[in-house]
Amino acid sequence: MFIQKMTASFGRLEQETLTLEAGMNVICAPNEWGKSTWSAFLVAMFYGIDPSQRNKKGVLADKNKFQPWNGMPMSGTLECVADGRTIVLERSGKRSGTPMSQFSAWYRDTGDPVPKLTGDNVGQTLLGVEREVFVRSAFIGETGLAIGQTPELERRIAALVSSGEDTSFSEAFAQLNSWKNRRKHNKTGLIPETSTQLIEIEKDLRLVEQSKERMLQYQVSLESIARSEKEVREKLDRWAAAEQQEKTAKQQAAQSAFEAAAQRFDAVDRIKQTLPRADQLRQGQELGATIAAQMPMLDQQTKKIGRLQEEITQRNERAKEGIFEGKSPEDAWKQAQAAVEKCKELDRKAVFRPWVFALLCFVVFASIAAVVILSLQKAAFLTALGLVCAALVSAALPIILFIWYRKRTNVLGERASVCRIYHVKQPEEILEQAAAYREWQVKTEQLNLQLQEALAEQEERTGRLGQMEAQLFQLTLPFAPEAKTVAQAMEACSQGLSTLALWEREQLSMETLQRQWEAMEPVPAEVGKTAVAVAPPQESKLQLQEEGKRLQREKTRCLEGVAMSKGEQAIGGDVEALQARHASLLSQRDALEEEYEALELAQTILNDAHQELQSRFSPVLNEKASAWMARFSGGKYQDLRLDRTFSASVRTEEDPISRPDLMLSAGTMDQLYLAVRLAICELALKEDQQAPLLLDDALIRFDDVRLQYTLDALYEAAQTRQILLFTCHGREAAYLSGKAQVHIMQANGSRETMTL
């Protein structure tokens, strides 16, 4: 199984994508680029994020640490190849309390969901191990090389080196310890509880005698309370008789008030019979209010009609003074167009035509030329004829010019007379006068239309007001015939509504007094006829009632004390029963102490068995870890050993004894625990699934020589398992460059540029 691509909105990553290949992937990037964030995202995609994790001192929970910086919810996708098919994993979640809780998985080629793959089992299914095993084996960071003991990792290794039984020594030992603590742990447990019960039984024996004495005291107090209660009841009876007399007086007063209210109601009811319904009276008020509101508007409409009539009269008078008097706008426009066309025609006639003058001059010059030519040929007759023609032509030229000038003078005079008719200088101004006349007539027609609309509206409003006045007076005529004006009719309606409201109040008052009278308890006849008044006692009724309550509480306390004393005696029982209970508890405590000793023995036996099991799997783990350590150190460290807590120690061939990890340099310690983790990967991770190996700046403290040894070993491991090596240095990329199945990604300082 190997990962092809990851896309994440996670921490500082904002919808960024990281593409990977099978084999060795070296990602070289500076600090704060997101290497650790990508590593945490990979784990989150396979195993999710624990929503119950809380912040600790100096450490943020993953759900808070990797909250996207842009404020959006955590989300992402991961594409991986498993069993020859590409699977797409997607996680998201809208609520901040349960990040990445929504999970889906499908095959990329078909889009079909992956069966039986959920957000809870995806890591176990694809990687073959639980989260704790993966984090403590294949997930290797700069500060997380050391390995802690967990039940999951312990069970996994034990199952691999034993018969296959998936058990955990720490869990079994903890269960035995829990059972032992249940029986006794310091001052708690079943054994101390049994001892406490024995002490309580001894207390019960002493309480039996004390309860008998208290019960006798309570019985004496009960006799005194009974005498006091009798005296209080007698005084309360006197109070009851006095109150009964007072009730009789109140009942008679209530009856009188009801009868008076009934008389008032009858008087108002007779007036009400003449009135219409309340809604009709309110309708009359509304009619009056509407009429009153419409009157100013009617006056305004009348004034408006007067203004329109006056303006129309003035415009008609002024229209009679114009040159278009009595004509419609269309006729006036046609008349103006005809006058303009006539002026244009006269202008065309008065235009001087140079070509006519040129033609005449040509004829004259041609005649002279002909005469000259003929005279040169000595043709006397023809010469004389030419002279006559030339003389005629020359005489005709001024005559023609004089005729044209007279005609032009007449045309210009006629044109000027047309302009004088319209009082203009240019013919175009005639059209302007016609346009102004048309606008004047249109405005006049609009005013006439407004006048007709105003007259129609006034007529309609006057008719509507007349109808409303008729309805109003028809309504008030039966009960207010004296109302002759709208104001008087409205006042009559208001008085009618007031009368109806008074009728309702009187009816409500009468019914209320009747209910009060009828609700009173009937007074017995013999009490009502009693002539002698009963005087109440000096103490108030409240004081007597409080005294009665106090006596009742005291009586209850004494009765409870008697019952409690009897209960204590019953609980305590006789001496024989207490002794039997005491003996039973002693036997129970002895049995618990025997069980406690048996559990201690079981823990001892289990510890011996665990040591035997450890002797079976420790050589396997130590052998594999020693092989890795020898490769990392160039053969210097050949022997590596782990104890039950996964603490390591190493020894060279020259060392007489092993040296614990704390005595090594920081770089050698990192190499030691990297060897242990790779050995655990070989044991804990399934061979058929080959989960990826993730190293996040795990080689940062290796020197150059041991770095090369380590990279050679990792390169060999990458032939069968995908390896993701995140680093902030360039040593790894420089050494592995050019090797087969090595894919180097170099970040150039910005998040957007990455070269392969």
Q: How do residues 503-512 score in pLDDT, each as one tens digit?
A: 888 889 888 8
pLDDT recorded at residue 234: 85
Three-class SS state of 81: strand
The full DSSP string for 53-73 is ---BTTB--HHHHT--TTSPP
Q: What is the pLDDT of residue 203?
A: 79
Strand order in the sheet with 648-652: 637-642, 648-652, 659-660
- Contact between residue 506 and residue 261 where contact means Cβ atoms under 8 Å apart: yes
CA angle at residue 214 from 213 to 216, to 5 degrees?
70
Flag whether pLDDT at 163 surpasses 50: no
The closest alpha carbon to 516, from 266, 249, 251, belongs to: 251
For the stretch 14-73, pLDDT in tens is 999 999 999 999 999 998 898 999 999 999 999 999 888 888 888 888 888 888 988 889
Of 90-99, 101-110, 601-610, minimum mean pLDDT range: 601-610
Question: According to the model, what pLDDT value does residue 463 have?
Answer: 83
* 687-743 confidence digits (pLDDT tens): 666 789 999 988 988 999 999 999 999 999 899 889 999 999 899 999 999 899 899
Nearest CA among 284, 686, 246 for reference residue 500: 284
> CA-to-CA distance for 57 and 357, rounded, in angstroms?
121
Confidence of residue 85 (pLDDT cuts 50, 70, 90): very high
At 661, list the tokens: 């990890």
- The pLDDT value recorded for residue 752 is 42
Amino acid at 257: A
Residues 418-424: what's their mean pLDDT? Answer: 72
Average of pLDDT values for 88-117? Answer: 89
Q: CB-based contacts of 156: which residues, under 8 Å, 6+ apart?
A: 129, 130, 133, 166, 683, 684
Provide the pLDDT confidence category of residue 599 given band limits of 50, 70 and 90: confident
Measured between alpha carbons, how far apart are the two ends of the chain, in Å? 23
In the predicted structure, residue 528 carries a pLDDT above the cut 60: no
Per-residue model confidence (pLDDT) at position 750? 45
With a cut of 90, say whether residue 588 has pLDDT above it: no
Q: What is the pLDDT of residue 52?
A: 86
> How many CB atoms lie under 10 A from the CB of residue 498?
11
Tell me if 74 sits within 8 A of 18, measured CB to CB: no
| Range among 39-48, 254-263, 313-322, 448-457 rated most confident | 39-48
